[in-house]
Amino acid sequence: MERNAIDTTEEASLLKVLGNWDVLALGFGAMIGFGWVVLTGDWIGSAGTLGAVLAMMAGGVIMGVVGLTYAELTAAMPKAGGEHNFLLRGMGPRWSFIGSWGIVGGYVTIVAFEAVALPRTALYLFPDLNQVKLWDVAGSEVYLTWALVGAIAAVVITTVNILGVKFASVAQTFVVVLLLIIGLMLVFGSFTGGSIENMQPLITGGTAGFFAVLVVVPFLFVGFDVIPQSAEEVNVPARQIGRLVVIAVVLATIWYLITIVTTSSAMPAGELAEADIATADAFGAMFGNDVMAKLLIAGGIAGILTSWNSLLLGASRLMYSMARSGMLPAWFGKLHPRFRTPINALLFIGGLSFIAPFLGEAMLVWLVDSGSPSIVIAYLLVSVVFLVLRRREPQMDRPLRVGGKGKGGLLIGGAAVVLCTGLLSLYLPGMPAFLDVQPWILFGAWWILGAFFLLRIPTGIKPGQEAEHRLLEALKQRRAPTGGPPS
């Protein structure tokens, strides 16, 4: 293994520069991307106002329970990589890789989603943006000027992350504040220009409508786990890091509920169904001014940037940790000599987001659907390892112990396992919200690539505190005869 991938000296470490608000802004901002702007109308159309509210509340409860398991584990193991460290200690290297690869896949799909969502949003503000047609992808026309909006943004956001986590967190805070202002205006507009009559029908679509909303929950809430990814750069007590995970989930749930209720109050369901971007048109209708619709689109852009920035940060830290453990090539474990950020991991993910807009708008739905099962797989494994460590290491130092020392914690962990299993089943054929073929192709391609790295991880390495050390030693011995570093 090359020195830069496993060196834990101060010179090669990440910087501890993030405070309470920085962490909360990263977690909350990661969850509030662009989905609330473009998908709210679909939620209301599928399930009705009350149906969508109930589905989102159920999703918030599921993510809250999972978030509690993350809170305890993050406080106990505040190292970069989150799931990677939890699973390595509790279940060993191969399970750690599976969980980590699932989250990286989810993060990468959402980063790519934001790179496509940005030019789609810009088109709402600038109708003449589409110039110089390049090609068609799945019936979606791709224009050079349209694609360049996302590609150039990918370069800017990747550069911001390379310049340092504190720099990225300052930018994140600024944009989150703009989001919160938009949220307050949504509530105000609903009271002054909305109507309860517009919320009818309260429930449509029955069970299928409810699950159509519930199935997007992993995509909407992914991001609270960015907090564990950046834990090694957080300069607050470990117990507080865990609490911030749960607070971020609660805030995101409130945000999505506000979006559903205010949007449905603004316009009748039939008009919302015909709207190009329902939440923006609803915002304009509440204030009786098209300028306000464009202002909400600015809020949507803020959401894109916060989610993009946070998940790029989280994915790069996770790939850095996997490389540091020898699960990925050492190239991903290189830190920038000055800014001490995982530069190669950032460049890799940034490169994928640069390419995404050139694949067209049809990619939006595919990316949402393909990443969600991978995210739930990771959440399920974290819930399982929460129970494993409670049983195997009852005396483990836990600055934040959810549910106390008795059966309360086991009940929370068990509930998380059951809920994640149920959520994962919704994506399967025959279920109310099964996925189309294209998302499964993307999902399969990601896991086939992962299998290449998984099969290179030595078997028989026991979990525990020394699992990472044992894995690195096994990799060194494997490559010792050739004299080359393990990859």
Task: Break the chain into its structural domains and give their ranges.
Answer: 20-459
Which pLDDT does position 11 carry in this prediction? 41
Please say whether the beta carbons of 92 and 471 come within 8 A: no
* C-beta of residue 9 within 8 angstroms of C-beta of residue 164: no
Considering the segment(s) 20-459 as one domain, its CATH architecture is Up-down Bundle (1.20)
Q: Identity (one letter) of the amino acid at 132?
A: V
Q: Specify the 3-state DSSP secondary structure of 295.
A: helix
- Would you say 313 and 136 are in contact if contact means Cβ atoms under 8 Å apart? no
Q: How far apart are CA 412 and CA 387, in angstroms?
A: 9
What values do phi and psi take at 19, rounded to 5? -100, -175
Q: How far apart are CA 356 and CA 118, in angstroms?
A: 11
Residues 56, 220: Cα–Cα separation, whole Å: 10
Q: Are 480 and 410 in contact (CB under 8 A)?
A: no
What pLDDT sits at residue 349? 92
* pLDDT tens for the 487 residues of the chain, in order: 343 334 433 345 555 666 677 777 877 877 887 777 777 888 888 888 899 999 999 988 888 888 889 888 888 887 767 788 889 888 889 999 999 999 888 888 888 888 888 888 888 788 888 999 989 887 788 899 999 999 999 999 999 888 876 666 677 777 778 878 888 888 888 888 778 888 878 888 788 888 888 877 777 787 787 777 676 676 677 778 778 888 888 988 998 998 888 888 888 777 777 776 778 888 888 887 778 888 888 877 877 887 888 788 888 888 988 898 888 998 998 888 888 888 999 999 999 999 989 988 777 677 767 888 888 899 999 999 999 999 888 888 888 888 777 778 889 999 999 988 988 887 777 776 677 788 888 889 999 999 999 998 888 888 877 777 788 888 778 766 544 444 4
The residues near 293 (Cβ < 8 Å, ≥ 6 apart) are 280, 281, 283, 284
- Which runs of consecutive H residues, i.e. helices, occur in 92-143? 93-125
Quick check: helix, strand or coil at residue 456? coil
> Which H, E and C letters describe 347-410, residue by residue?
HHHHHHHHHHHHHCCCHHHHHHHHHHHHHHHHHHHHHHHHHHHHHHCCCCCCCCCCCCCCHHHH
Q: Nearest 5 degrees, angle CA 171-CA 177-CA 178?
A: 95
Amino acid 54: pLDDT: 92
Give φ, ψ of 133 to 5 degrees: -65, 135
How confident is the model at residue 132, as a pLDDT?
92
Residue 464, C-beta contacts closer than 8 angstroms, at least 6 positions apart? 89
- Residue 487 confidence (pLDDT): 42
Q: Could you give the 3-state DSSP secondary structure of residue 432?
A: coil
Alpha helices (H) in 267-342, listed in sequence order: 269-274, 278-287, 290-324
Tokens of 320: 């850095």
Sequence-ordered alpha helix ranges (H) in 126-237: 144-162, 165-193, 206-214, 217-221, 226-229
CB of 69 closer than 8 Å to CB of 232? no
Which is it for the CA torsion 392, 396, 401, 405, positive or negative? positive
CA-closest candidate to residue 249, choices 82, 111, 71, 423: 71
Give the C-alpha separation, 187 to 415, whole Å. Answer: 33
What backbone phi and psi angles, to 5 degrees, belong to 4? Answer: -70, -15
Amino acid (one-letter) located at 271: E
